[in-house]
């Protein structure tokens, strides 16, 4: 490592003292200004009480102001630096990893690998559920650190590329940059971000009241006054936050990104993978969540577009937290002795994570089942599972055999019982029990007879951005036709109101709504709004995926 | 007047600092080595599972599976750094040929347990490579300290000796397993 432990500690403490001093100065200036304004007010209103210097605070007044600034600065500091990591990750909407998801498992493995490379320091990991491609890292005073990535990044980058990105974030963590950005973000940026969030919600509520109070004139006038006051208040706060974020940005050097890139290369010895990853990130980095524009400095690429990011020279260096992406990529390509064209043909295409779906199914063994002393069947495993009252003590016999035994004694069926595959959901069409199954690396429920898919809304986004499954030619053709007639299909989707579906939700039993998935992707699906789940009939999921891949090849 | 000060204060202080630095270096090498050991153990624990899963699909490939099993046995029993180096290289080659053969069994490749085992193995290979990289960096730093003046004099005085590097033909096996699937 380029920094020894001692050097990191020294650097850390210097910068942190500096941050505290800046905080105190800001509070001092603020309080002084307020005192001066109050002094001017008093001078005009009741001049008989003011003697000597007029509105300028005296020496003892200045000391008072300093005291107030010190106390409020210390309180601000203590509140801001407690629980930094949970607060920032909550603000970003980051979620803990899902144990059953293959992509998440791979990401966790990669983080553990990289943490070994930096000497075994424990790093936590989280995922932001958005389609953008971005990553961030935060750290606190107690040596805890967290690396987070978006779902889009996990779906679109290969193993080597994710490794390079994680090593970049680990580079921030070991060099101490991460702590500094995190602390300055939590001192200033987090409030701006939270404030933006409140603003949006208040604006929404004003709009709502304005619509409903149309016929009541008096209230309306009150509203106008309220809005004017409110706008004034917003103006003040926006000005102050803009000032703060400028301070943060000048404090945070652009050089840290180059340094972390260099450290990533040192750890993984693979500059080309990082260059490729940055190339993909630069194509689709925006919008990693809402209200995070003021936290941009903890990300690998600024989530909010700023013109200064792509500029060079003194002023962009001063106000921008991220160096130009093209220059970062160029430096890495020089290290790899490659040129920009190699980025169009990635070096190591990753093997697909879930290739199981693409194989033709082997003829499964079938069994006859004893039901009220008559043998019925033959059934395959999925049908057996769906039979009412089927359990380990049901008598079965294999097709073409005469030996009778309880289902629990048959090894393949016993294994099925042990896996905990029995789920309480039933297919809305044929009433068979749904099977827990895997689709694009995440878990879904599948009906083996009607071939429908039951998906949680939060998992659907992962499925849509991942591209492991290959589609049959018919589906691709249909997607082609729909993409070709997009205007017509969109008009249809907009005009059609949602209709009551013929099926009921497997989870809550309420009748589902049948409507287009979205205006851009007019595939009809069944949605339950209460449980936030979707039911896809056969081919509907494939069609939706094929359509997304056709019309937005860069999105996912 | 000057010499006594040098003898009484500066020399012992310098000696203490250099001695402590050497001890810290030795401890770091030690802890880096234990990390490699943990990861090698992880690799040895995964291989029996791999063979169990593969047996169901590759009935006609007894030789290669036995080769992997014995290589694993020898590697697990090795104790000195030199022995481990040699045994792990044999094991890497055996795994390499195992995955080359497994390439011919598409059903094995599609097996769910195999898929997650494969991910674990790839991850373990990377962990070993990274642990080795970190260990070698620490050894390099420590050895430099042992051999450069003035710390070399202190090292000789208190019996600090050079540590060995740990070499595995890493690039080869890392790619072999990744490329197989």
Residue A313 belongs to some domain of the structure: yes
Of the listed ranges A123-127, A154-158, A383-387, A540-544, the least confidently predicted one is: A383-387
Up-side HSE of residue A41: CA atoms within 13 Å toward CB?
Answer: 6
Percent share of chain A, pLDDT over 90: 4
Residue A167: per-residue pLDDT: 93
Q: Are residues A77 and A186 in the same domain?
A: no
Name the residue of chain A whose CA is nearest to B127's CA. A113
Up-side HSE of residue A151: CA atoms within 13 Å toward CB?
Answer: 28
Domain boundary among A60, A81, A102: A81
Residue A352 belongs to some domain of the structure: no
A354 and B CB contact within 8 Å:
yes
Which residues on chain A are in Cβ contact (under 8 Å) with B123? Answer: 106, 109-110, 112-113
Residue A427 belongs to some domain of the structure: no
Residue A493 belongs to some domain of the structure: yes
Interchain contact, B127 vs A116, CB within 8 Å:
yes
Interchain contact, B110 vs A113, CB within 8 Å:
no
Name the residue of chain B whose CA is nearest to A100's CA. B116
Which residues on chain A are in Cβ contact (under 8 Å) with B21? Answer: none
8-state DSSP, A188 = I
Is-contact A186 A80, C-beta < 8 A? yes
Name the residue of chain B whose CA is nearest to A2's CA. B137
Q: Are residues A397 and A472 in the same domain?
A: no
Residue A428 belongs to some domain of the structure: no
Is-contact A442 A459, C-beta < 8 A? yes
The first and second tokens of residue A327, run together, are 């220059």
Q: Are residues A193 and A327 in the same domain?
A: yes
Residue A140 belongs to some domain of the structure: yes
User: Where residue A16 falls among pLDDT bands split at 50, 70, 90?
Assistant: confident
Say whether pLDDT at A319 is over 80: no
Q: Are residues A296 and A203 in the same domain?
A: yes
- CA separation for the pair B94, B71 (Å, rounded): 7
A362 and B CB contact within 8 Å:
yes
- Model pLDDT for residues A23-42, shown as the tens digit of each residue: 888 778 877 777 777 777 77
Looking at CA atoms only, how far is residue B1 from chain A in angstroms?
Answer: 35
Q: Which among A284, A296, A366 has a CA at the least distance from the CA of A553? A: A284
Q: Domain spanning B31-180: which CATH class is it, in words? A: mainly alpha
- CA separation for the pair A60, A484 (Å, rounded): 77
Neighbours of B53 (CB within 10 A): 18
Q: Are residues A76 and A202 in the same domain?
A: no
Count of residues making up chain A: 556
Which residues on chain A are in Cβ contact (under 8 Å) with B112? Answer: 356, 438
Interchain contact, A113 vs B127, CB within 8 Å:
yes
Q: Are residues A110 and A177 in the same domain?
A: yes
Interchain contact, A356 vs B115, CB within 8 Å:
yes
User: Where residue A111 falls among pLDDT bands split at 50, 70, 90?
Assistant: very high
Q: Are residues A223 and A339 in the same domain?
A: yes
Q: Are residues A95 and A76 in the same domain?
A: no
Q: What is the mean pLDDT of residues A339-358?
A: 56
- Model pLDDT for residues A417-430, shown as the tens digit of each residue: 655 555 677 788 77
Q: What is the mean pLDDT of residues A198-218?
A: 55
Q: Which among A288, A276, A284, A253 has a CA at the least distance from the CA of A335? A: A276
Could you tell me the residue ranges of all domains in chain B?
31-180
Q: Are residues A160 and A262 in the same domain?
A: yes
Q: What is the mean pLDDT of chain A?
A: 74
Domain boundary among A322, A344, A366: A344
- Chains A and B form CB pairs within 8 A to the count of 59
- Block residue for tokens 């769906």: A386
Q: Which among A348, A366, A429 has a CA at the least distance from the CA of A157? A: A348
Looking at CA atoms only, how far is residue B134 from chain A in angstroms?
Answer: 6
8-state DSSP, B55 = H
Q: Are residues A76 and A125 in the same domain?
A: no
Which domain, by its residues, includes A337?
Answer: 90-344
Rg (CA), chain B: 23
**CATH code, domain carrying A414:** 3.30.1490
Interchain contact, B112 vs A438, CB within 8 Å:
yes
Is-contact B26 B142, C-beta < 8 A? yes
- Model pLDDT for residues B12-35, shown as the tens digit of each residue: 888 888 899 899 989 999 988 888
What are the contacts of A71-79 at 24+ separation with CB within 8 A? A72/A27, A72/A31, A73/A20, A73/A23, A73/A24, A73/A26, A73/A27, A76/A23, A76/A27, A76/A187, A77/A20, A77/A23, A77/A187
Q: Are residues A240 and A262 in the same domain?
A: yes
For the ranges A243-247, A515-519, B31-35, the maximum mean pLDDT occurs at B31-35
Q: How many domains does chain A have?
A: 4
Q: Are residues A365 and A334 in the same domain?
A: no
Nearest CB to B131 within list A116, A351, A355: A116
């Amino acid at each position: 490592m380029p920094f020894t432990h001692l050097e990191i500690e020294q650097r850390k403490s210097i910068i942190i003292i500096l941050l505290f001093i800046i905080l105190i100065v800001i509070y001092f200036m603020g309080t002084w200004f307020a005192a001066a304004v109050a002094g001017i007010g008093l001078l005009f209103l009741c001049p008989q009480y003011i003697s000597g210097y007029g509105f300028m605070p005296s020496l003892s007044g200045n000391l008072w102001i300093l005291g107030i600034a010190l106390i409020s600065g210390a309180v601000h500091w203590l509140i801001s630096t407690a629980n930094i990591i949970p607060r920032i990750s909550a603000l970003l909407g980051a979620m803990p990893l899902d144990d059953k998801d293959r992509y998440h498992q791979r990401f966790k493995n990669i983080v553990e690998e990289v943490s070994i490379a930096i000497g075994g320091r424990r790093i936590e990991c989280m995922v932001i559920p958005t389609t953008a491609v971005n990553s961030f890292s935060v750290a606190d005073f107690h040596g805890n650190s967290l690396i987070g990535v978006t779902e889009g990044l996990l779906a679109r980058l290969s193993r080597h590329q994710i490794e390079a990105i994680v090593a970049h974030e680990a580079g921030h963590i070991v060099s101490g940059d991460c702590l500094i950005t995190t602390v300055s973000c939590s001192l200033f940026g987090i409030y701006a971000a939270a404030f933006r969030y409140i603003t949006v919600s208040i604006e929404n509520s004003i709009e709502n009241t304005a619509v409903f109070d149309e016929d009541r004139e008096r209230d309306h006038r009150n509203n106008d006054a309220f809005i004017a006051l409110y706008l004034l208040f917003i103006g003040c706060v926006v000005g102050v936050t803009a000032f703060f974020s400028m301070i943060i940005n000048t404090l945070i050097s652009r050089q840290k990104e180059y340094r972390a890139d260099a450290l990533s290369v040192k750890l993984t010895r693979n500059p080309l993978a990082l260059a490729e990853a940055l190339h993909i990130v630069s194509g689709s980095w925006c919008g990693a969540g809402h209200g995070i524009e003021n936290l941009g400095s903890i990300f690998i690429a600024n989530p909010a577009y700023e013109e200064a990011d792509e500029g060079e020279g003194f002023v962009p260096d001063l106000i921008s937290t991220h160096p130009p992406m093209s220059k970062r990529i160029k430096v890495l390509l020089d290290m790899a002795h490659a040129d920009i064209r190699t980025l169009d043909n990635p070096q190591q295409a990753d093997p697909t994570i879930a290739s199981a779906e693409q194989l033709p199914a082997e003829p499964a063994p079938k069994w006859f089942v004893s039901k009220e002393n008559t043998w019925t069947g033959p059934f395959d495993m999925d049908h057996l599972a769906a039979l009412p009252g089927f359990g380990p003590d049901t008598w079965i016999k294999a097709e073409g055999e005469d030996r009778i035994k309880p289902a629990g004694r048959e090894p393949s069926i016993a294994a099925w019982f042990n896996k905990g595959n029995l789920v309480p959901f039933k297919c809305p069409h044929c009433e068979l029990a749904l099977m827990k199954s895997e689709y694009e690396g995440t878990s879904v429920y599948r009906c083996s007879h009607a071939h429908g898919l039951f998906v949680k809304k939060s998992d659907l986004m992962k499925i849509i951005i991942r591209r492991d499954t290959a589609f049959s030619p018919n589906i691709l053709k249909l997607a082609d036709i729909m993409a070709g007639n997009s205007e017509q299909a969109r008009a249809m989707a907009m005009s059609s109101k949602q209709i009551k579906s013929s099926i009921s939700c497997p989870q809550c039993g309420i009748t589902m709504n049948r409507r287009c998935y979205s205006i851009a992707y007019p595939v009809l699906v069944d949605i339950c709004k209460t449980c936030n789940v979707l039911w896809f009939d056969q081919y509907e999921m494939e069609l939706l995926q094929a359509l997304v891949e056709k019309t937005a090849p860069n999105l996912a | 007047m000057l010499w006594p000060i040098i003898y009484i204060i500066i020399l012992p202080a310098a000696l203490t600092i250099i001695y402590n630095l050497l001890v810290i270096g030795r401890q770091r090498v030690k802890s880096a080595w234990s990390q490699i050991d943990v990861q090698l153990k992880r690799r040895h624990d995964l291989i029996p599972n791999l063979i169990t899963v593969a047996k169901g699909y590759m009935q006609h490939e007894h030789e290669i599976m036995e080769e992997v099993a014995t290589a694993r046995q020898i590697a697990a029993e090795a104790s000195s750094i030199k022995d481990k180096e040699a045994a792990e290289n044999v094991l890497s080659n055996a795994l390499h040929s195992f995955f080359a053969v497994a390439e011919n069994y598409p059903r094995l490749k599609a097996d769910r347990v195999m898929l997650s085992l494969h991910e674990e193995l790839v991850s373990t290979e990377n962990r070993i490579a990274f642990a080795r990289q970190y260990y070698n960096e620490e050894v390099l730093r420590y050895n430099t300290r042992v051999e450069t003046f003035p710390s070399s004099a202190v090292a000789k005085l208190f019996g600090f000796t050079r540590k060995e590097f740990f070499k595995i033909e890493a690039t080869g096996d890392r790619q072999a397993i990744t490329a197989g699937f």
